[in-house]
Structure 1
Amino acid sequence: MITNEAQWIHLATSAVEIVGTAIIVVGAFGTLAAFLLGLARGKTSRATLVADFRSGLGRSILLGLEFLVAADIINTVAVEPTIESLLVLAGIVLIRTFLSFSLEVEIDGRWPWQKGQSDERAQRATDQQQ
Structure 2
Amino acid sequence: MREYLFLFFDSLAFIVSCLGVLIIIYGVVFAIYHLIFEIAGQAHRARGLNVDHIRMEFGRNIILALEFIVAADIIETVLEPDYYDIGLLAALVIMRVVLSYFLNKELISLTPPERSKLR
* TM-score bracket for this pair, using the shorter chain length: 0.7 to 0.9
Q: Matches of 1:64 and 1:46 in 2, distance apart?
A: 31
Number of aligned positions between the proteins: 107
How far has the Cα of 1:32 moved from its partner? 1.3
Decide which of 47, 51, 66 is 2:49's aligned counterpart: 47
Amino acid at match of 2:28: A
Q: Matches of 2:14 and 2:92 in 1, distance apart?
A: 17
Q: Matches of 2:8 and 2:98 in 1, distance apart?
A: 31
How far has the Cα of 1:85 moved from its partner? 6.2
1:62/1:76 Cα in 2 relative to 1: closer, same or farther (>3 Å)?
Answer: same
The answer for the alignment partner of 2:10 in structure 1 is 10
Confirm or deny: 8 A CA contact 1:76 1:86 kept in the other structure.
yes
Q: CA offsets per residue over residues 47-74 of structure 1, 9 Å max, x none?
A: 32x2122112111111111111111112
Q: Matches of 1:91 and 1:55 in 2, distance apart?
A: 23
Structural RMSD (CA): 2.6
1:3 is paired with a residue whose SS is: helix
TM-score scaled by length of structure 1: 0.67
2:43 is paired with a residue whose SS is: coil
Confirm or deny: 8 A CA contact 2:39 2:49 kept in the other structure.
no
Unaligned runs of 5+ in 2: 113-119
Amino acid at match of 1:97: V
How far has the Cα of 1:86 moved from its partner? 7.2
How far has the Cα of 1:81 moved from its partner? 4.3
The answer for the alignment partner of 1:94 in structure 2 is 94
Confirm or deny: 8 A CA contact 1:76 1:85 kept in the other structure.
no
Q: Matches of 1:80 and 1:74 in 2, distance apart?
A: 9
Which structure would you say has the larger Rg?
A: 1
1:46/1:65 Cα in 2 relative to 1: closer, same or farther (>3 Å)?
Answer: farther
Highest relative contact order (Cα 8 Å, sep 6+), 1 or 2?
A: 2
Q: Matches of 1:27 and 1:12 in 2, distance apart?
A: 23
Is 1:105 the counterpart of 2:98? The answer is no
Identity of aligned residues (%): 31
TM-score scaled by length of structure 2: 0.72
Q: Matches of 2:29 and 2:10 in 1, distance apart?
A: 28
